[in-house]
Amino acid sequence: MSPACGPSPVSPLARMPFALRRLPVLRCDVLVVGSGVAGLSAAIAAAEHGAHVMLLSKGRLTDTNTEWAQGGIAAALGRDDHPDLHAADTLRLGYGLNESALVESITAAAPEAIAWLQRIGMQFDREPDGSLALGQEGGHRAARILHAGGTATGRELQRALTQHARRHAGIDIYEHAFAVDLLRDAEGEASALVSLVRAESSAPWEPLVFEAAQIILATGGGGQIFRETTNPQSATADGLALALRAGADLQNLEFVQFHPTILYLAGAARHLISEVTRGAGGVLRDRQGLAFMAEVHLDADLAPRDVVSRAIFRRMVETGDTHVFLDLTAVADAGSRFPSLARVCGIFGLDLQRAPIPVRPAVHYFVGGIAADADGRTSLPRLWAAGECANNGFHGANRMGSNSLLEGLVQGRRAGERAAEDLRPRVRRWLSPALAGAMQPRPPGADLNLLDITYSLKSLMTRQVGIERQASGLADAIERLDGWSGYLARLGPFSPEGAETANMVHVAQALTRSALFREESRGAHFRTDFPGVSPAWEAHTLVHPTEDGVRLSQKPLAAGARAGETRRARG
């Protein structure tokens, strides 16, 4: 099958055991799905503009990628810095696929966004004189990274936004609300969402329809599609799958950023190890003790993330090993400088000051997502997207550290504001194009082992759609994914677990087709059979749902984007 086409993903609603028209309905002006930085920012902004907002969280309100974020928030606040310089760095790291006008807009909005966070109570780290502490990270040519609690920026950001949202009278919050699928009205516009809701984690799930004039998806990424990830268990690409099945375009899915170093120990959580450790003098070595990064890149262990991840991967292949080692033994006071890492290593009997620790790359961030414009509008009317689940051209073909929380904050607020301003009257009627009626009986003996499918998916994607890719492996992966998608549609149970599995498979299909479609290597996408950058591919990859499947095509950058990138890069 050509990578430019493929079967239509079938909604989990096709197997729901009840009549859709009989479900209870809750109505609001703006429905926000997701409770990380983008979702909370969108909900607060919409409510502040007078909208009645309902916010859905898959688990607890704080079960988000934002809560887990160890990095900071980038903003040009220093005396020798400027938003134009921040934009230039972002464009340089985007490998030619950034939308330059949007980059300039977001970096220009960063200082005010930080000021807003301080007004609602976020506590940033400060210098002894009381000024904001500004750190410098890879790719940024100025000190512009704000942190909170050292490596607890995400937790403090989540706390401040959550507290502010809970206080707002215009926001109704529903925790433990699992989004199953979007519904469209007779005009083909997004109009409602079917969800499974429960009062607490141990309570039974109850089906419910949320109807809204505007729907904002802010559901985060999909790291759980791969075997090794820094993402929480909830990161199953739900929003991307919902949008795809409803008919919205997805963009640049092939760009998946790997973090080069996670702690790799049997039984241990995949603890992310920041580049700060290598900045302090940590060295990557193979099992024989060879420091291999110096022969790969001029910056050796401080090379860009995609370069370091590929170098580690290749070293693992060459040595037949499952990992390499991060050597911190020469770093003075490593234990006190990196206390959380020292604590985790100590639990498993490792002393990072005495011996190297095992590490390997893991999926960290979905650069691609639901195609969205500068305000968050998608190709499906009344549907918006913000944060990691969206792709608007800000990051380009890779992501510069500490830009993701900034994008979620700025774009979440913009989507919320614009959605609240666009509350047109609507017909109270919605349809489900994927729903035939009642659930069809499952053939005898045809129960699916969802856990086995999930493990098989993770293994396949890591092995054949991971750090390095090539045509035969991608084509084989597509064939397997299409098969799994087919029998999930016929046999998969209507449950959160069944829907999550379907979501991951559906997005994996689109991601793999995108990786096969883009015949070059650029940023976070590397093809061993097309190792160079091709000018013909300086365009976005678009996955467009059709009546009988999906179609892939190139989408040109906005007019002037290339010129803007060149101008800023020279600056």
Q: Which residues contact 389 (CB under 8 A, 6 or more apart)?
A: 34, 38, 217, 218, 219, 220, 221, 237, 239, 240, 243, 366, 369, 370
For residues 144 and 74, what is the distance between their CA atoms, to the nearest angstrom?
A: 6
CB 329, CB 355: distance < 8 Å: yes
Do residues 370 and 386 lie in contact, with contact meaning Cβ atoms separated by under 8 Å?
Answer: no
Q: From CA 377, how far away is CA 32, in angstroms rounded?
A: 14
- The CA distance from 262 to 228, in Å, is 9
DSSP 3-state of 86: helix
Contacts of 298 (CB under 8 A, 6+ apart): none
Tell me, yes or no, if 305 is annotated catalytic.
Answer: yes
- Burial, 319: exposed, middle or buried (Cβ in 10 Å; 0-12, 13-18, 19+)? middle
Cα separation, 347 vs 424, whole angstroms:
57
Total residue count of the chain as it appears in this document: 571
Catalytic residue among 15, 270, 285, 305: 305
- Name which of 140, 412, 132, 458 is nearest 270 in CA terms: 458
Whole-Å CA distances, 343 to 70, 264, 309, 351: 16, 15, 25, 9
Consecutive H or E run containing 115: helix 100-119
Active site residues: 305
